[in-house]
Amino acid sequence: MRQVVAAALVLAGLVVLPHPARASGAAKALEKPVKTLITAVRYGKDSLGIKQLAGEAQARFLLGEAYEKATEAQRAEFIRLFHQLFAGIAFPKIRQNFEHLETILYEPPEIEGDTAKMKSTLVILHPLKKQEIRVEYTLKKVGKRWKVFDVLVLGTGGDSMLTSIRNDQVQPILAEGGMDHLLKLMRERAAEIEKAKQG
């Protein structure tokens, strides 16, 4: 559940972007994938939203040593299934969060090589109270484009979204039955989500 909330926050946290006149060149370079992702998720264009995620970098992180041992076909299937599950589980929650989001306050990004980090404060107006959540986003440069990689909710003492998914789900399943077992379980879960959508 924490992963779904964190995923919702990363996307909800990117709804309001810095004013173009105030955005630095670095911030502008990070702005395009964010705008595209938010618009896509907001209007139910999940496949376009998924294209804004750093799939290969996410797979390398989640699979660890298993990534190098996996075949190209296994890697590609893992990325496809991971994104399909992410869209099926997290994106609907994200759309709900848009209802309560008031504004986002951004800090300038920090860029080191092909990795960028941006911190922001999300101001959420729930019916009973106002809530401020601090979030740090990690983006990866893929070719000439920046893509969303991970999110960390600051001040909770918890792991980042991808670290939680890796430690709580992916690695235990790999240890139990290897890559084929992981892909089998992912296929089954993806089929359940697809069936629920149609049913």
Return the closest-CA partner of residue 4 out of 172, 165, 132, 138.
Answer: 165
pLDDT digits (tens, 9 = 90+) for 152-197: 888 888 899 999 999 999 999 999 999 999 999 999 999 999 988 8
Q: Provide the CB-side half-sphere exposure for 137 (13 A, CA).
A: 31
Fill in the amino acid letter for 181: H
Fill in the amino acid letter for 109: P
**CATH number of the domain residue 94 falls in:** 3.10.450.710
Q: How many domains does the chain have?
A: 1
For residues 187 and 173, give the distance between their C-alpha atoms in angstroms, rounded to a whole number. Answer: 14
Position with higher pLDDT, 156 vs 97: 156
State the chain's mean pLDDT as an integer: 84
For the chain, what percent of residues have pLDDT higher than 70? 85
pTM over 0.85: no
Average pLDDT over residues 51-78: 97
Token look-up 């804004």 returns 52
Instruction: Please check the confidence at residue 22 and state whether its pLDDT lies above 50.
Output: no
Q: Residue 182: give the domain boundaries.
A: 2-198
Residue 193 structure tokens: 């989500």
